[in-house]
Amino acid sequence: MTDNTLSVRCCVAGGGPAGMMLGFLLARAGVDVLVLEKHADFLRDFRGDTIHPSTLEVMHELGLLNEFLKLPHQEVRELNGQVGEMRLTLADFSRLPTRCGFIAMMPQWDFLNFLAARAARYSSFRLLMEAEVISLIEESGRVVGVQVRTRDGPIAVRADLVVAADGRHSIVREKAGLQVKEFGAPMDVLWFRLSRRPEDPSQTMGRFDVGRIFITINRGDYWQCGFVIPKDQFEEIRKRGIESFRERVAQLAPYARDRTQELRDWEQVKLLTVRVDRLSRWYRSGLLCIGDAAHAMSPVGGVGINLAIQDAVAAANILAGPLREGALTIDHLHRIQKRRELPTRVTQWLQVAIQRRIIARVLDETRPFEPPLLIRLAARFPLLRRIPGWLIGIGIRPEHVSASIIASSTVNENPGWGR
């Protein structure tokens, strides 16, 4: 290994939920793993901040749940909505067969810092910040590493396996030439904060009205707000001015009317361009894609992080042994896609159906919106709320950490580079 070349068993591009979870699990299993994160830290506003019951179950299996829940968080035991003047409960998590019958709302950077700190206890784990993958290294049609731009200059990382966990705009999957199927989305989302007062409503909820969808997530001392807009309409909204936007927010959240002035300019409003896509094939020889790099999810249900972490758990279960023993084959990568493709397909099908049959109709200002029959039935019969609670909180195929990874917990007293 030269000064500007590193060699590892597994190189993970992207330090988001999928990449950090996979890196942690592989390191715990004794696999030499390097995670590359292009930013200097994990501090990004309005990333997915939902830790679902199935993910909390994984933390329990790893013996980390009690410690994890000491971090500041809010517990959401049901999702509520308002359609016109009708208030209803859309999903109930309190009766799920998991240790935690709630979604933990926690800043994503706290979650990632927690995983990074626990992973750094293992000598086989390395995390390199400000390290951006710019190209692949290939030999005879096989991916054997990546070229990386770092603050100290370019380096090459050679690996038995490169894992793309670098999000919906993955540079790794682009360089690999993998085919992407696009499913479209009728909306984008504007995210921003408003301060919260003790006398405000306490519920995390969504409001659906003619031409408007507004989401408020209780984050303790502030509201994380999502304003759903028709696709590609942000520039038109900007042209109307921040005052017009503040008035629209005040109409949907009248209790916070006096706080809309906190939105001083458009710099405080972040645009999430919604896309739903999926790779036809998640892998090549020497390369695997997981999380948003394999399947960008709609924000409907907030399940993107959950799917990404489940991908990471499934990948670690299948890859740990072969990587540790130097016996990885392309069949192992195929097995990961085969296991995770069904829950991805079903979840995306449900999301696209909701986008077309509910969200697109709500955003259509030319006709009144009437809640679909299933929503009206859920409002009337509490038992039915457990179905969306299961789909959102647990998912189609929840993953569990293998016994061999759980048993592998030799902590290093003198970590290598770590962070």
| pLDDT confidence of residue 88 | 78
Spell out the residues 6+ positions from residue 67 whose beta carbon is closer than 8 angstroms to its own: none
122: which strand partners? none
Cβ neighbours of residue 126 closer than 8 Å, sequence gap 6 or more: 8, 33, 34, 35, 416, 417, 418
Q: What is the DSSP letter of 77?
A: -
Cα gap 29→31, rounded to integer Å: 6
Whether the CB-CB separation of 47 and 110 falls below 8 Å is answered with no
Residue 373 burial class via C-beta count within 10 angstroms: exposed 0-12, middle 13-18, buried 19 and up: exposed
- DSSP annotation string for 95-130: TSSSS--SEEE--HHHHHHHHHHHHTTSTTEEEEES
Rg of the Cα trace of the chain? 22
Q: What is the pLDDT of residue 383?
A: 86
314/339 Cα distance (integer angstroms): 8
Q: Per-domain residue ranges for the chain?
A: 5-74+103-183+275-360+399-407, 187-230+232-272
**Which stretches of 219-313 are assigned E, i.e. beta strand?**
222-230, 270-272, 277-279, 283-284, 287-289
Torsion of CA 27, 13, 300, 105, to 10 degrees: 50
Q: Apex CA 166: angle with CA 193 and CA 279, to 5°?
A: 110
Give the Cα separation of 395 and 407 in Å (integer): 26
Place of tokens 């894609």: 289
CA–CA distances in Å: residue 179 to residues 137, 182, 294, 340, 341 = 19, 10, 10, 17, 15
Residue-level pLDDT, tens digit, the chain, 419 residues: 456 899 999 999 999 999 999 999 999 999 999 999 999 888 776 567 889 999 999 999 999 999 999 999 989 998 887 776 677 788 899 999 999 999 999 989 999 999 999 999 999 999 999 999 999 999 999 999 999 999 999 999 999 999 999 999 999 999 999 999 999 899 999 999 999 998 888 777 788 876 788 888 888 888 989 999 999 999 999 999 999 999 999 988 888 999 999 999 999 999 999 999 999 999 999 999 999 999 999 988 889 999 999 999 999 999 999 999 999 999 999 999 999 999 999 999 999 998 988 888 888 877 777 777 777 787 778 888 899 999 999 999 999 999 999 987 655 543 444 33
Q: What is the 3-state secondary structure (H, E, C) of 81-93?
A: EEECCEEEEEEEC
Residue 414 confidence (pLDDT) = 38
Tell me how far CA of residue 6 lies from CA of 271, 284, 419, in angstroms.
37, 21, 16
Q: Among 205, 200, 228, which residue's Cα sits nearest to residue 216? A: 205
Q: How far is CA 263 from the centre of its chain?
A: 26
d(CA 390, CA 403): 25
Architecture (CATH level 2) of domain 5-74+103-183+275-360+399-407: 3-Layer(bba) Sandwich (3.50)
> Residues 287, 176: contact at Cβ < 8 Å?
yes
- Tell me how far CA of residue 174 lies from CA of 137, 160, 206, 363, in angstroms: 14, 20, 35, 33
CA atoms within 13 A on the CB side of 316: 33
